[in-house]
Amino acid sequence: MRLFALKGSEDLGAAVAVALGTALDPHEERDFKDGEHKARPLVGVRGEDVYALHSLAGSDDASANDRLLKLLFFLATCREHGAERVTAVAPYLAYARKDRQTKARDPVATRYVAQLLEAVGTDRVVTLDVHNIAAFQNAFRCETVHLDTRRLFLPVIERLAGALPVTILSPDGGGVKRAQLLKECLEAETDLQAGFGFLEKRRSRGVVSGDLFAGDVNGTAVFILDDMISTGGTMLRAADACRARGAKAVHALATHGLFGPGAGALFGSDAVDRIVVTDSVASAMRAKVEYPAARLEIASVAPLIGEAIRRLRDGGSISDLLGTES
């Protein structure tokens, strides 16, 4: 097996390697002055089972497009030089938000990314908590492995809830299933029982609307769950709604802490007691430095990804890892 982590994902890659009890394999990346790029493995890959890890969230130093193209080229060169199998490990998968047409002549970017990955000979794609798991699985013809982080949040919820009753809340209708699965997992694997709720949210041409609030949060510790936090507007809107309805504590949980422009409002709000994300993207750690006073907590997904790779390599069960065996 060969494990590589491309530039910008080295910290998570190194942590995954530790979880696997191995080391990252060396590779070279070179940027040319005109914006072009090349990357190559510095060890032989012929006949090897290759895993290339790169999170595809854009940042100041590299756009999502840059990261996607670099991953595509690296997977292609491993295939070109005889790798028996190539697996793209993309903890955050770019363009997963645009998975269907909602307006005339809309793109379906999720499918286009799938076609690009398949075109360079990718055998398998591993990712974490995509925006819409059904759209992700249906877009690809190669093998897909979708890892979810709900078990990672269980000890966080137990600790932060203290003696308060718990409510799991989705900040929009699209995340209801995600929040329901967390509630079911929490009740199955801990002594806690949880209420449930969701907030109506509609977005059209950049304008967010919707007033329906379902669920009783009065006197409870509310855990708002989403797949990602970008500007933080969705989380803040939901947190304010919970406070207005008597919530004693409000915590924001998300797998991907993108924290783009505008996230400072979330970090500075008294409506949110704690923000918990994973290290699936490097921007989460950068936000920790940029906003030192923020009530931000980061949980590592490296053990989960490392164990998934181990099981894929050895023929183990991913369903058992995720607790989805019937």
201 given a catalytic annotation: yes
Q: Which long-range contacts (CB under 8 A, 24 or more apart) does 64-69 make?
A: 64/94, 64/95, 66/37, 67/6, 67/8, 67/94, 68/94, 68/95, 68/113, 68/116, 69/37
pLDDT of the chain, 326 residues: tens digit per residue = 999 999 999 999 999 999 999 999 999 999 999 989 999 999 999 999 999 999 999 988 899 999 999 999 999 999 999 999 999 999 999 998 877 887 889 889 999 999 999 999 999 999 999 988 889 999 999 999 999 999 999 999 999 999 999 999 999 888 899 999 999 999 999 999 999 999 987 665 656 656 789 999 999 999 999 999 999 999 999 999 999 999 999 999 999 999 988 889 999 999 999 999 999 999 998 998 998 888 999 999 999 999 999 999 999 999 999 886 54
- The domains of the chain are located at 2-149+303-322, 150-299
| Predicted TM-score (pTM) of this structure | 0.93
Q: Running DSSP on this structure, what letter comes out for residue 316?
A: -
User: Which amino acid, one-letter code, is at 296?
Assistant: L
Q: Which CATH architecture has domain 2-149+303-322?
A: 3-Layer(aba) Sandwich (3.40)
CATH for the 150-299 domain, from 3.40.630.10, 3.40.50.2020, 3.40.50.1000, 3.30.300.30: 3.40.50.2020
Catalytic residue among 70, 98, 183, 201: 201
